[in-house]
Chains A and B, each alone.
Chain A
Amino acid sequence: GAGVSQSPRYKVAKRGQDVALRCDPISGHVSLFWYQQALGQGPEFLTYFQNEAQLDKSGLPSDRFFAERPEGSVSTLKIQRTQQEDSAVYLCASSLANRGNSPLHFGNGTRLTVT
């Protein structure tokens, strides 16, 4: 079946622009996670949804970052007034349920470059 799909694959933004990154999770997956991965580092947690509810946004680095999942399926990560330090790969993952026996499945990410 189809895996997690993210778009766009690459995004170049000028500093100060707003960007929106899309994630299509695996159909039927209740849990959705966003991660940020800087060059040479492991992914770092940003935020988590269970269906349409955003239950944890403790990893969002600033109030310029906003995520939503209004119908409990597709999710969008929005970054306002982008800064150079926002340059990274943004990964989305989904799982059937948020418990230890339910693996997360990742998309291939969106590589954001802020110039």
Chain B
Amino acid sequence: DAKTTQPPSMDCAEGRAANLPCNHSTISGNEYVYWYRQIHSQGPQYIIHGLKNNETNEMASLIITEDRKSSTLILPHATLRDTAVYYCIVRVAGYSGGGADGLTFGKGTHLIIQP
């Protein structure tokens, strides 16, 4: 079972910031928060991940609350090409040699960028 909760869909106007929320209230201290997105007919694309601190890269920013029970992915200037399903995933930081250390996907948020 996915350990995250996301809204099933969201709209955002082109050029505005898209803020995608994720709840992970049962996250453990050794689990990372990962974000992927999947555009139709493509494989999931890695966006960003973080453990405790906020993170930023060329694609997005990740804001993690101090208690780590929720996070927000921010796409600063959304374009039509950002329309996709966005997955928030928690992943254990350690290593046990098993596939369960990979990614467990939920249903994600379908983000629709409106022109």
Instruction: Identify the A interface with B (CB < 8 A).
Output: 4, 31, 33, 41-45, 47-48, 50, 55-59, 91, 93, 97-101, 103-109
Contacts and interface: CB of A to CB of B under 8 A. Distances in A.
B91 interface: yes
6 contacts: A42-B108, A45-B104, A100-B30, A100-B91, A106-B45, A106-B46
Given A31-B102, A33-B102, A97-B95, 4 more contacts: A45-B100, A50-B97, A98-B95, A100-B101
Interface of B: 2, 30-32, 34, 41-46, 49, 51, 87, 91-95, 97-108
B4 to A, nearest CB: 11
Contacts of B99: 33, 45, 47-48, 55-59
A56 B98 contact: yes
B78 to A, nearest CB: 22
A103 B49 contact: yes
Given A56-B98, A98-B97, A100-B91, A107 B31 contact: no
Nearest to A3: B43
B47 to A, nearest CB: 9
A104 B49 CA distance: 11
Nearest to A41: B107
B105 to A, nearest CB: 3
Contact of B93 (A31, A33, A59, A100): A100
A33 B72 CA distance: 27
Contact of B105 (A42, A50, A56, A108): A42
B23 to A, nearest CB: 17
Nearest to B101: A98
B98 A48 contact: yes
A108 B40 CA distance: 10
Please list the 9 inter-chain residue pairs (A to B) with the smallest Cβ-Cβ separation, ordered nearest first.
Answer: A48-B99, A42-B105, A100-B93, A106-B43, A56-B99, A56-B98, A99-B95, A103-B46, A100-B32
A100 B103 contact: no
A104 B100 CA distance: 13
